[in-house]
Chain A
């Protein structure tokens, strides 16, 4: 057996051992052979094949009618529908989350009346499918033909409105979406508040901070960390959920695409228009989520993780430095992988 290991200093008197534990072995000169993960390679190849097939079909399948897609993607009707989708999301989302916050605080209140009311509200509006709720609000006129202010428990009114004119399709949509959202976000916000350490409340109370300050300055900023991921799930869900109000002929983006394909029979390209727009909006929200979560991570991690832009910039500067054959500037806050290389 001949040794290929470089030996540094071997005492002439000691018998030479070729086992790696020999005191003379220079471990720095050994080549490391990584394990081969054959399963990963096979599955990886399969995934690449499937994706390639899909992309190929996107370009070759005539059924997509990309010309129709391009023609309608920025069509004024579609953009108007998109505007309404966004408006519904913003209005219903804002009302929903504010109401949800109030419900969450009521649910945590010491008053049994308030907490039972909040519980019942959440129970009721989580029980009804959103689709059913929107249709019920839209048809409320059958139940209460008029809505007005008057003497309680009587039919004496000071002012009175026709329900049909008061609750337009838009109002019905906002009511349905907002109440539905309020019930779900109440539980999310409550969960976030419960995740804050009890000691924080005690410390805030011991400092004599008033309840409003305790909630807005101490509890909610800390609860935000666990609220945000779920809240963005909800907002994205709401954005897509607005497509449900197409049943009451409210011309949000999905309703508009349906109207158009009922006329020109280009079902797939028109659906593709909706799909791509929803994807774009969701992407924007996901990016916003990253930065907002990062903001609220202050203080809970010792070091904020770099943003993708910072990471890209660092990578470019390292590659640049390598090209110029200078030692790469080791960033002060090097990630572990970078520190190792």
Chain B
């Protein structure tokens, strides 16, 4: 089987190419020959039952999980490897980190740094990576907090915030590096039902701004409303890709029908 090379000379922002990606944990294959292209500015939701590999797929996009076979590229740049001649060279830590900053991640459990205030959480990366001076990063962070509706919580520690507020700070933190692609790994699964809405509102705003968004979620209503395309994945294979109307309204694959039947 041949695996094609990533698109060359892409001048766009936020093109994600996933090509023939396979990944196993021991004998258990979590991803099997997965290929998917996500256009710049597109909002793609990945649906699937627990253990289907959807989170793993999301995490390969910024090399939090390495792949056993195939490749992932953002705007034609391979994630984790460099293509020279007929070989793929594993990148040095520094290069991996540099490419990683093009992709922001929002985790299910927020993963805010508990010993830093909301503001310090946001400015940590831009300052540590010498992108911005401390004063500029502060300005940026305050603006981002304003955008997620938490301008008054700049000096609060994560533990002093509700789950929904923590997740909104986490989104602001991911935005501070101005990524081309934002990944959401079940961003509302750890939240009380009444806090889900405030986080989804923020994500909806981002979708309108033209950043490429890849979202793993169980919120079908939200997925229908916000996504350009929906990907259904089960047992590490993509079973169906299409518009929300197609995948949710008129599923073709029996597994999709079964899953949606249970979820709705």
Contact = CB atoms under 8 A, between A and B. Distances in A.
Interface of A: 197, 199-200, 202-211, 213, 217-218, 221-222, 296, 298-302
B107 A208 contact: no
Contact of B100 (A197, A206, A211, A302): A206
B177 A208 contact: yes
B64 A202 contact: yes
B115 A211 contact: no
Contacts of A209: 97, 124-125, 128-129
B157 interface: yes
Contacts of A206: 62, 64, 100, 103-105, 107, 174
Contact of B101 (A208, A213, A299): A208
B114 interface: yes
Nearest to B157: A299
B109 interface: yes
B160 A302 contact: yes
B158 A210 contact: no
A262 to B, nearest CB: 52
16 contacts: A199-B107, A199-B111, A203-B111, A205-B64, A206-B104, A207-B101, A207-B125, A209-B125, A209-B128, A209-B129, A217-B124, A218-B124, A222-B114, A296-B115, A299-B159, A300-B114
B94 A302 contact: no
A217 B123 CA distance: 12
A118 B128 CA distance: 30
B177 A207 contact: yes
Contacts of A205: 64, 97, 100
A217 B174 CA distance: 18
Contacts of B105: 202-203, 206
B77 to A, nearest CB: 14
The 9 closest A-B pairs by CB, nearest first: A203-B111, A208-B101, A207-B125, A299-B157, A206-B105, A199-B111, A208-B97, A299-B115, A213-B128
Contacts of B109: 199
A204 B112 CA distance: 9
A192 to B, nearest CB: 13
A300 B159 contact: yes
B111 A299 contact: no
A204 B124 CA distance: 9
B115 A210 contact: no
A218 to B, nearest CB: 6
A218 B101 CA distance: 17
Contact of B173 (A199, A202, A207, A301): A207
B222 interface: no
B5 interface: no
B88 interface: no
Contacts of B100: 205-206, 208
Given A209-B129, A218-B113, A299 B124 contact: no
Contacts of B124: 207, 209, 217-218
Given A207-B124, A208-B97, A299 B158 contact: yes
Contact of A208 (B112, B125, B159): B125
Given A199-B109, A302-B159, 6 more contacts: A200-B113, A204-B113, A206-B103, A206-B104, A208-B177, A218-B113
A234 to B, nearest CB: 23
Contacts of A204: 113
Give the one of B94, B103, B111, B159 with max A CB within 10 A: B111
Contacts of B160: 302
Contacts of B125: 207-209
A300 B177 contact: no
B186 to A, nearest CB: 13
Contacts of A211: 93
A200 B101 contact: no
A221 B173 contact: no
Nearest to B125: A207
A217 B120 CA distance: 11
Interface in B54-113: 62, 64, 93-94, 97-98, 100-101, 103-105, 107, 109, 111-113
Given A205-B64, A206-B105, A217-B128, A299 B114 contact: yes
Contacts of A221: 115
B36 interface: no
A204 B107 CA distance: 12
Contacts of A197: 111
A43 to B, nearest CB: 40
B7 interface: no
A221 B157 CA distance: 14
Give the one of A206, A218, A296 with max B CB within 10 A: A206
Contacts of B10: none
B245 interface: no
A217 B129 CA distance: 13
Contacts of A203: 105, 107, 111-113
B128 to A, nearest CB: 5
Contacts of A213: 128
Interface in B173-198: 173-174, 177
A25 B115 CA distance: 51
B130 to A, nearest CB: 10
Contacts of A217: 124, 128
A202 B158 contact: no
Contacts of B174: 206-207
Nearest to B113: A218
B36 to A, nearest CB: 20
A244 B161 CA distance: 51
